[in-house]
Structure 1
């Protein structure tokens, strides 16, 4: 994969593993794109023609994987929109991973390659279907 080859060597294995987890556990219907140096998983316009409200004519973003200098950032819009999933993830992370969770509203920062909870991330991806995500997005945009 050309994207992987463009990454710093020390990040390639981590990105390959993350991508495998994502493709294995992500709900049907999402599509993978490479945009601005990031792996993105989106609701395609063929499934949700309205697209993303911020940038008309673009697919609705769900998940992005971005390689930063000191970490890999996993931006998960579903966790941002669903407080129950957010709480579940934070609690499960604390029980399964020996390092402190470094997380913003939608950004999970993965700093230590030896402590990435790939199985937990797979469970997280299975928590929100494409249909549920679109419904939550619609509710948020048009209450």
Structure 2
């Protein structure tokens, strides 16, 4: 599946929010990530040319951010936030400054249940927080560190 095929299949309720979220993240993301559809959703990953070791035992490209339009919510998966507590803490403290709705998230998944209430500026800032090289370094440190 391609990004265009995924976007075409998004329910009309979520289409505008999905596309604006995608454009916001793509515009703010540091250079070096590539677009791919992986794990059933489009997103941004580290190309194997940049990080040949790849992700996990399958050595697929290292995922970074995924965006999924689900039946009841729009989800943004930010793996850097999952691995880096400082980014997670920054996001959770900044969210109330941008939105009056309650933050609905797990460790890496931010869920938006109202397509009219997505903090695009905040998502843009989040996308800027980590470069390809920083993400690889963080992934490597956690993969081989004492908590691995």
What displacement does 1:55 show? 2.4
Inter-partner Cα distance in structure 2 for 1:67 and 1:37: 11
The answer to whether structure 1 residue 112 and structure 2 residue 105 are counterparts is: no
Q: For 1:31-70, what aligned pairs fall within 5 Å after superposition?
A: 31-56=34-59, 58-70=60-72
**Structure 2 unpaired stretches of 5+:** none
C-alpha distance 131-109 of structure 1, shift in aligned 2 (>3 A): same
Q: Secondary structure at the match of 2:116?
A: helix
TM-superposition CA deviations, 1:77-128 (whole Å, max 9, x none): 0001111111110010012101000010000001111210000000001011
TM-score (ref. length: structure 1): 0.94
User: For residue 86 of structure 1, what is the aligned residue in structure 2?
Assistant: 88
Inter-partner Cα distance in structure 2 for 1:91 and 1:142: 29
Inter-partner Cα distance in structure 1 for 2:30 and 2:19: 19
| Higher RCO (CA 8 Å, separation ≥ 6 residues) | 2
Q: Secondary structure at the match of 1:114?
A: coil
**Structure 1 unpaired stretches of 5+:** none
Deviant stretches of 4+, over 4 Å: none
Equivalent pair of 1:98/1:115 in contact (CA under 8 Å): no
Number of residues of Structure 1 aligned to a counterpart in Structure 2: 142
For the aligned residue pairs, the C-alpha RMSD in angstroms reads 1.1
User: For residue 122 of structure 1, what is the aligned residue in structure 2?
Assistant: 124
Equivalent pair of 1:39/1:64 in contact (CA under 8 Å): yes
